[in-house]
Amino acid sequence: MIDLVPHFIFAKDTSGRYILANEAVAKVYGIPAEQICQMRDADFAPNAEEAAGFRRDDLEVLRTGKIKHINEVITDYDGNVRELMTTKVPFDSPETGPGVLGICIDVTERNAALRKIAYLAEHCHLTGLPNRSQLAAFLEEPIRNAEPYALLFIDLDNFKTINDSLGHKVGDAFLKYISARFEQMRESKDFVCRFGGDEFIFVLRNTSADAASAFSSKLLRIVAEPVTIEGMTLTSTCSIGIAKSPEHGMTKNVLMKRADAALYKAKARGRNMFQCYSEELQHAVDRRLFIYNGLQAAACNAELELYAQPIVDAQSGAYTSAEALLRWRSRELGPIPPDEFIPLAEETGLIGMIGNWVIEEACRTQRAWLDRGIDLHLSVNVSARQLLEPGFERYFRETYSMTGVPPEKIGVEITEGVLLGDVESACSVLSSLADSGVTVSVDDFGVGYSSLNYLRKLPLTFLKIDRSFVKDCVENPDDAALVRTIIMLAKNLRLKVVAEGVETEAQVSFLRAEGADLFQGYLFAKPMPVGDLLSRLEDGRTKTGHVLQAPR
C-alpha cells in the first residue's frame, strides 16, 4: 500500500539503517527498495554532505522524542536537485526498537511556480525590469536615511506611433531594447523600473542635481540611438522630468507628482529634453488644472461670451465681415485669454463642447443681425480636433438651419494644423460645407509647417496672413518680402487676402500697395461684444469711424 503513495515513506533504526522504504524512495536513488533496507544514507546517497545532514536530523528526533518539520534538498540518482518538505517522527516498536519514521513530499515544481509568481508580481513580464510595485520598496532605505536622491520620470515621445503603425509585436520588441539599454546604464546602487506603458522611472541614489542632469543627457542620447527590428530601423526620443529629494519633497508620492509635472513641461517645450522641477512649474500645472475644471462648467455658468472683430475692405474701408472670438470670464480666476484656454481645450477634448457653443452663439448673432437688416459675414474659428470630431458637419448644418441663417453668411477659419492630421477627412468635411456656401479661410497663414499642396486641395475663399508677419512688414525687409510672396501666391490661387493685426497707417499703405484685399486689426476696431458691434453698425458709426486714405 505504501508503494502506491507518491511521497517518500521510510523508517530507520537508531543506527541509521533503513528498516523500511517505499517505491518512491527507491526510484529517487535508483536502487530496488529491498536493497535499501539495512543500508544507511551514507551508503548510497550521491551527495555525502546531504547524507550527513539527514543523519543529524534523525539523531535530533531520537534525542528529543519530538516531531521535526524540515525543508531540505536532496540530489537524486540523476544528479537533479529536488526540494522536499519532510516530516520526521520518533517511534518505538516491540519488533524493531526505537527509530525515525519519515515522510517527504517533493515540492520542487510547486516552489518553482511560487518563485515565478513572486517574480512576476515584482517584474514586468515583457522587459524583465522591476515593475512599479518595487519603487516604494526601493525608496524605503534612502527615505529612512534621509539620503539625497533623484527621481527621473521618463516617457518615450513617439512610442504610440511605433505601436499603432507597426503593430504591438514591433512595439513590444522596441520596449525590450530600450529597457535593456536602461538596465545597462543603471549603476548597481540605483534603480530602474517600467512604470507602465512607455513610462519608466529611474532612481539615482546619493546624487546631486548636476549629476542627475548629466545622467539625463546621457539617457536622451542612449534612447535616441536607432534600434533595428525585423529589418526596420526605428528611432524614438524621450522626455524626462526630474524631482530631487529632499529639495522637492521627501515622500514617494510628492516626488512622483513633481517629476510628472516636470515631465509635462519637458513635453510642452518640445520633447526630447529633460526638465527639473521648480516651484513656478507647479503653479503652471495647478493653473492648468484650475482652468480645465473651470472650463467644464463655463458654458453652463454663463461665463462665456462671444466677441466679434470687424474686417474691413482695403479700398473702401467698409465693414464687410467679422470674426467671432471667444471670451471667458471665470468667476474664480477672472478673464482668461483664449491663447491660454483654447490650446488646453484642444488638448483635453473640451474644445468640442466649447466650439459647439461658439457655433450656436455665432448663428444666433448672425440671425439677429439679419433681422436688423445688417449684412455682415461672420466666421468662427474651428480647431483641427473639433473639425474631425464625428458629427461636426451635421451639427454645423443643423445649427445654421435651425437658427435660420443662410450658409453663405457664415464661414469657418481653420489653421494649417488641420492638415497635420487626417487630411482626407478634413478636406471632405470642408468641401461639403463649402459646396453649401459656407466660406473657408486658412488662418494664421505662414506659421504652419504643411506643404503648399493643400492650398489647391482645400475649398478656400480667404487666406489670412498671420499677424506676426504684418507686425514688422514696414521696417523689416524680410517680413516685407514674405508678405509680398504670400499675397502673390494667394492671388495666383484666386484667394482673397486678409491681413491680420493691422495696427498702423504705414502697414495699411504697404499692404494695400501689395494687393491685400481686407484688413483686420486694432487700427480699425478691437474685438468687442457682439451686441456692441451691432449698435455700432446700427448707428452707422462705421462710416464716420476710421476713414481710409483714398487709394493712390
Q: Of 157 and 443, which CB lies nearer to ligand C2E in the complex structure?
A: 443
CB 483 within 8 A of CB 489: no
By CB under 6 A, is residue 383 in contact with ligand C2E? yes
Separation CA 220–CA 225 (nearest Å): 9
Amino acid at 523: L
Query: Cα–Cα distance between 222 and 211 in angstroms, integer?
Result: 16
Q: Is 325 an interacting residue with respect to ligand C2E (CB under 6 A)?
A: yes
Q: Is 349 exposed, middle or buried (0-12, 13-18, 19+ CB in 10 A)?
A: exposed
Question: Can you give the three-state secondary structure of 318-384, one letter per residue?
Answer: CEEEEEEEEEEEECCCEEECHHHHHHHHHHHCCHHHHHHHHHHHHHHHHHHHHHCCCCCEEEEECCH
C-alpha cell at 241: 522630468
Q: Measured between alpha carbons, how far is 319 from 317 in angstroms, rounded to an integer?
A: 7
Q: How far is the CB of 357 from ligand C2E (least distance, A)?
A: 8
- Residue 58 or 500 having the CB closest to Ca ion: 500
- Which of Ca ion, ligand C2E, none sits in contact with 356, Cβ below 5 to 8 A by type? none
In the list ligand C2E, Ca ion, none, the entry touching 521 (Cβ below 5 to 8 angstroms by class) is: ligand C2E
Look at residue 501 and give the partner it binds from Ca ion, ligand C2E, none, a contact being a CB closer than 5 to 8 Å depending on partner kind.
Answer: ligand C2E
| Secondary element (H or E) of residue 114 | helix 108-122
Q: 529: cis peptide before it, omega within 30°?
A: no
Which DSSP string do the residues of 478-534 spell out, in sequence order? HHHHHHHHHHHHHHHTTPEEEE-S---HHHHHHHHHHT--EE-STTT---EEHHHHH
Angle between helices 392-402 and 423-436 (to 10 degrees): 20
For the bound state, the minimum distance from the C-beta of residue 466 to ligand C2E, rounded and expressed in Å, comes to 7
- Report the side by side order of strands in the sheet with 97-106: 18-21, 8-13, 97-106, 81-93, 68-75
Binding positions for Ca ion, 368-387, rule CB under 5 A: 381
Does position 472 interact with ligand C2E (CB under 6 A)? The reply is: no
Q: Is 381 in the site for ligand C2E (CB under 6 A)?
A: yes
**Does residue 521 belong to the site contacting ligand C2E (CB under 6 A)?**
yes
- The full 3-state SS of 528-546, as one line of letters, equals EEHHHHHHHHHCCHHHHCC
How many Cα atoms within 13 Å fall on the side-chain side of residue 395? 16
Report in angstroms how near the CB of residue 257 gets to ligand C2E at its nearest.
30
Among 361, 444, 514, 517, binds ligand C2E (CB under 6 A): 444
CB of 512 to ligand C2E, least distance (A): 16
Residue 522 is a binding residue for ligand C2E (CB under 6 A):
yes
Residue 106, Cβ neighbours under 10 Å: how many? 18
Contact (Cβ atoms closer than 8 angstroms) between residue 200 and residue 154? yes
Residue 374 C-beta: closest distance to ligand C2E, Å: 21
Question: Which stretch in 44-52, 127-135, 288-296, 498-506 sits in contact with Ca ion by CB under 5 A?
Answer: 498-506
Q: How many residues bind ligand C2E (CB under 6 A)?
A: 25
Q: Which amino acid makes up residue 23?
A: E
- Report how far residue 203's alpha carbon sits from residue 78's, in angstroms, rounded to the nearest whole number: 45
Shortest Cβ distance from residue 216 to ligand C2E (Å)? 34
Partner touching 416 among ligand C2E, Ca ion, none, CB below 5 to 8 Å by kind: none
Q: In this complex, which beta carbon is closest to ligand C2E, that of residue 70 or of residue 482?
A: 482
| Segment interacting with ligand C2E, rule: CB under 6 A, options 19-27, 32-40, 336-344, 394-402 | 336-344
Helix (H) or strand (E) holding 106: strand 97-106
**Cβ proximity to ligand C2E, 10 vs 392, nearer residue:** 392
Residue 503 in contact with ligand C2E, rule: CB under 6 A: yes
Applying the rule CB under 6 A, the residues between 387 and 426 that interact with ligand C2E are 413
**Considering CB distances under 5 to 8 angstroms, the limit depending on partner class, which of ligand C2E, Ca ion, none binds residue 448?**
none
Nearer to Ca ion, 59 or 447 (CB): 447
Question: Does 501 interact with ligand C2E (rule: CB under 6 A)?
Answer: yes
Asked if 58 touches ligand C2E (CB under 6 A), the answer is no
Minimum separation from the CB atom of position 365 to ligand C2E (A): 12
Q: Which is nearer to ligand C2E, 262 or 304 (CB)?
A: 304
Question: The C-alpha cell of 403 is what?
Answer: 437658427
Residues 441-460 that bind Ca ion (CB under 5 A): 443-444
Taking CB under 5 A as the rule, does residue 346 contact Ca ion?
A: no
Question: Which one, 198 or 413, has the nearer CB to Ca ion?
Answer: 413
Q: Which residues contact ligand C2E (rule: CB under 6 A)?
A: 309, 325-326, 337-339, 342, 355, 358, 380-383, 413, 443-444, 467, 500-503, 520-522, 527
Q: Which residues contact Ca ion (rule: CB under 5 A)?
A: 381, 413, 443-444, 500
